Amino acid sequence: MGLLVLSACNKNQMKVEYPQQEVEYCSLTVAVNTGLEVKSTGAADVVNANEKAVKSLQVFVFREDFLDAYAKVSASTLSLTCTAGSRKVYAVVNAPDLSSISSLNALENTIVDLASNSPNALVMSGAKDVTLPQSEPVSVDVSRLVSRIVLKKINRVFESTSLGALKFTVKNIYVSDVAGTIKLSGSTSISKWYNSGKSSEVPTLLFDSVNADIANNASYQTPHYFYVMPNDNTSKTTKLVIEASLGTETFYYPLELPAIERNKSYEFQNVKVLRPGSDNPDTPVESSDISFSVNVADWDIIEIADKII
């Protein structure tokens, strides 16, 4: 997703006299695209619009580490006045109020909590070094701080005839052991965890109630989207958990994620369920038939091949 920063300056527009120096001021206009306000589960076009939605925009202009100008609006465009020269333009979308920030170092080290995001207001940031004034537009790219996990299909293929005859219901799908924080610069800084064990913290991002029956040799194909902070798996491994009932018993299918990077999408194309799962969500399903591969594309998508569990 890109931000279009239009820069214009008239050398006679505004000059302020200081002892032994003259400061030249420039006007800076920033514009971004907007999106929709709908829960991000289901149709891909709606989800994509949500993930690009802009509810607030904050722009910082830095002269080295010193804050030269700042502005915030609850819209997708804004204008501000800054001084001419070599500057770093920092754009932050959908973040909490950052008006107290006065230095580049403080901004980049600001901790963003996963709970500050919503499915249609994901926090994004980006920066670019520019020299003002200049006649050509300046483009500053922003990217999401979160990563995305997608489950596209659950296929029930029970090998046992007797187990295949039992009612199988997918009750909930959620993400566990989720890193809760990151620096605004994108550097990893995990100071809290969400959903350690079975829980439903930050449900709009991490938890979906499903209650869908799947007959044997049939599938459930409603896509589910979840948003997490990056996790290098040094301390804990993030897992996508399918909670299901088989007959009168409840089972869990925890699917471990690889190391998770910012603004990448980890997509389970097809999870194949062959047998009952674990008794608790923290114990991986034992199976020699689990396959895994990664492909990168578009939203920095990392495609996770069929899971057989």
Cα–Cα distance measured from residue 82 to residue 27, given in angstroms and rounded to the nearest whole number: 6
Residues 26 and 95 in one domain: yes
State mean pLDDT over 9-27: 52
Please write the tens of the pLDDT for every residue from 206-233: 999 999 999 999 999 999 999 999 999 9
Region 283-306 average pLDDT = 50
Q: Name the band, by pLDDT with cuts 50, 70 and 90, for residue 16.
A: very low
Going across the sheet that includes 271-273, the strands are: 218-220, 154-156, 271-273, 307-308
Same domain, 138 and 162: no
Residue 43 neighbours by CB under 8 Å, 6+ apart:
none
CB atoms within 10 A of CB 241: 21
Per-residue pLDDT, averaged over 75-102, amounts to 90
For residues 122 and 184, state if they share a domain: no
Regarding whether 101 and 17 lie in a shared domain, the answer is yes
Count of the separate structural domains present in the chain = 2
- CB-based burial label for 8 (10 Å; 0-12, 13-18, 19+): middle
Mean pLDDT, the chain, rounded, equals: 82
CA 256, CA 225: separation in Å to the nearest integer?
A: 16
CATH number for the domain harbouring residue 224: 2.60.40.3690
Domain that holds residue 127: 2-144
Q: Which of 6-15, 19-28, 157-166, 209-218 has the lowest mean pLDDT?
A: 6-15
Per-residue confidence band for 67, with pLDDT thresholds at 50, 70 and 90: very high
Reply yes or no on whether the pLDDT at 309 is more than 90.
no
User: Which H or E run includes 5?
Assistant: strand 2-8
One-letter amino acid identity for 165?
A
Question: CA-to-CA distance for 219 and 215, rounded, in angstroms?
Answer: 7
- Say yes or no: 140 and 166 in one domain: no
Rounded-to-10 torsion of CA 202, 205, 209, 214: -150
Tokens at 107, concatenated: 């901004």
Domain boundary among 144, 170, 193: 144
* Domain edge (last residue) among 94, 123, 144: 144
Whether 152 and 134 share a structural domain: no
- Regarding whether 176 and 117 lie in a shared domain, the answer is no
CATH number for the domain spanning 85: value is: 2.60.40
Query: Both 152 and 118 in a single domain?
Result: no
Phi, psi of 266 (to 5 degrees): -105, 110
Question: Of 87, 79, 65, 98, which Cα lies nearest the Cα of 27?
Answer: 79
Residues 265 and 48: their CA atoms lie apart, in Å, by: 12
Q: Does 271 lie in the same domain as 153?
A: yes
98 and 177 fall within a common domain: no
pLDDT at position 39 over 50 = no
Same domain, 18 and 117: yes
On whether both 96 and 111 belong to a single domain, the answer is yes
Residue where a domain stops, chosen among 144, 176, 208: 144
